[in-house]
Every structure is written in C-alpha cells, then in structure tokens.
C-alpha cells in the first residue's frame, strides 16, 4: 500500500497526541527552519536522532511513516538531482557543458535529501497526531494577529485545513484513476519526457474535474449547515495550554541552541585539520 500520510489523523494517547495543537503547529513550523541550521554532519546526525525520537514518542510505527514518504520520493530525488548536476565546487568528478558533478554538489544534495525527508516526517507526525478540527483552530490562532491588517483569517485557516485534509484523498484518487487507465491499456513511465507527460493527461483531466466537483459539493454542504464566512465565529472546542506544551517549546529552543553549538564545534575541528 503506497499512500501519502500527510493530512491523515491516527487516534492515540501518546505524549505527542496530548500536546496542544498550537504548540505542535508552531513546533513543526520551527523545525522546518531549524533544519537549515544543520550544516555539518555532526549537527545533521543529531537532528536525525531528534526526528526519530519524536516519531517514537508518537507511538506510531516507523514503517507507517516511511510508507508515507514513498509517494514523494521521486519529487525529492528530482530536486536533489538538480542540485547535484548544477552545483559546482570542490573536486570536479564530471563536467559536460552546464552539467557538473562535483564534491560540493554531492554534499549539498545529501543535505537537501536529509532535510526534505526530515521535514516530511516531522510534519507527518504533526498531522497524524492532531485532529483536523484542532489543526484548524491552531492555524486560526497563529494567524489571528493578522486581523489587524484586515486579513480574512477565518477563511484562510479554513482553506488551509481543508487543503491538508484532502491531500491524501487526491493521492488516493490519482492512484485509482491510474489503475483504471492501466486496465484500459495505458502505459506510464515509458518513452521520452514528452511522451510521459502526454500519458499523464488522461489522469490529470478526470482528477481536475473530480476535484472541482468535490469542492462544489463541499461548498454546498457547508452552506446548508449555515456556514457564513463573513460572520464572526465562535469555537465550541476550547484549547488548553499546559506545562508540557511550554516544555515542548523549550525543547525546540534547546534544539536550536544545540545545533548552533554543534556547528561551531564542527567548524573548529575543520580549522584545526
């Protein structure tokens, strides 16, 4: 089974499940920026250990997490390949026109691959341990200060929540359409780039049509239930910030400090060598 897990919720009672959705959202966003502090092998290795630790705390099998990375692996490899082929520096291993395979490009490609995978894993932890409605409330809370500038925060938070929720559905529907096309004799992944793109047209057209139909049905269902985006909203669900949420934010700050320290240690050893 090869399904994207980003946007799915797995019920549980782990430490991560019990954290406030606002803390998990802020922690996940902070982690994305923190990954760019891992500029050396020592700091990158520590960040990997932290990522596995967070995954373990969620009490969800590692196999499930890495199964969720598989649908995005080709996009990650494509980005890494571009980085390797068009980044020069250090020892040159191969050069042909603008294409260069160098030591600097290979190292950068490795770091980019690691950062992409860690970001996907940690954001998957956030979505799998947070109910969609709680995630909507957390997004609304984080965007609330923008109301001063007359930004439609309620609509934006609702759209973001719906988008996250329907990511797995789009991937599932894409797989079903591809299976149906294969049953009719369609072949994917063969021929040159233009032929492969042409083969995907019968997939994208029904997917786009189904997405529009689903959006219209969802809008009708929300309207029937009395949803009015212009009206002020109240919340039946109350979020509660506790001591463990404060500690989780302190852990993020400590992680940032440790990565900066590890980077300085690595630079010191490089200067000695």
- Cα atoms found within 13 Å of the Cα of residue 190, Cβ hemisphere only: 4
pLDDT value, residue 189: 66
Q: Which residues pair with 94 in a beta bridge?
A: 101
Question: Are 178 and 203 a contacting pair, CB within 8 Å?
Answer: yes
pLDDT value, residue 40: 85
pLDDT value, residue 114: 92
Question: Are 121 and 51 a contacting pair, CB within 8 Å?
Answer: yes
pLDDT value, residue 46: 93
Give the CA-trace dihedral at 164, 170, 171, 176, to 10 degrees: 160
Token pair listed for 265 = 């240690």
Q: For the chain, report the end-to-end CA distance as a whole number of angstroms.
A: 48
Q: How far apart are CA 159 and CA 154, in angstroms?
A: 9
* Residue boundaries of the structural domains of the chain: 1-130+240-273
Q: What is the DSSP string of 100-163?
A: EEEHHHHHHHHHHHHHHHHHHHHHHHHHHTS-HHHHHHHHHHHHGGGGGGT--HHHHHHHHHHH
- Please give the chain's pLDDT, 273 residues, in tens: 445 566 678 888 899 999 999 999 999 999 999 998 888 888 999 999 999 999 999 988 888 888 877 777 878 888 888 888 877 777 788 778 778 888 888 888 899 999 999 999 998 899 889 887 788 788 888 888 888 888 888 788 778 778 777 777 787 788 888 888 888 887 776 766 577 677 777 888 888 888 888 888 988 888 888 877 776 666 666 788 889 999 999 999 999 999 989 888 877 676 665
Identify the DSSP state of 78: H
């Amino acid at each position: 089974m090869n399904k994207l897990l980003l946007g799915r919720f797995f019920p549980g009672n782990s430490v991560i499940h019990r954290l406030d959705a606002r803390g998990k959202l802020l922690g996940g966003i902070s982690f994305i920026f923190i990954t760019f502090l891992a500029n050396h092998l020592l700091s990158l290795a520590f960040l990997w250990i932290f990522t596995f630790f967070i995954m373990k705390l969620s009490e969800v099998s590692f196999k499930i997490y890495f199964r969720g990375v598989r649908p995005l692996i080709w996009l990650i490899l494509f980005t890494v390949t571009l980085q390797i082929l068009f980044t020069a520096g250090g020892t040159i291993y191969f050069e042909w026109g603008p294409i260069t395979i160098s030591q600097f490009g290979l190292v950068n490609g490795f770091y980019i691959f690691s950062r992409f995978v860690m970001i996907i894993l940690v954001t998957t932890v956030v979505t799998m341990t947070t109910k969609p409605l709680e995630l909507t409330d957390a997004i609304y809370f984080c965007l609330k200060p923008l109301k001063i500038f007359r930004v439609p925060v309620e609509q934006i938070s609702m759209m973001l929540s719906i988008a996250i929720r329907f990511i797995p559905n789009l991937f599932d529907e894409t797989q079903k359409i591809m299976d149906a096309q294969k049953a009719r004799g369609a072949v994917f992944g063969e021929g040159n780039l233009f032929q492969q793109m042409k083969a995907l047209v019968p997939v994208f057209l029904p997917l786009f049509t189904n997405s529009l139909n689903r959006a219209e049905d969802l809008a009708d269902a929300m309207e029937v239930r009395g949803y009015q985006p212009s009206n002020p909203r109240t919340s039946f669900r109350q979020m509660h910030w506790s001591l463990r949420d404060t500690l989780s934010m302190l852990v993020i700050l400590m992680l940032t400090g440790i990565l900066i320290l590890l980077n300085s240690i690595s630079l010191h050893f490089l200067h000695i060598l």
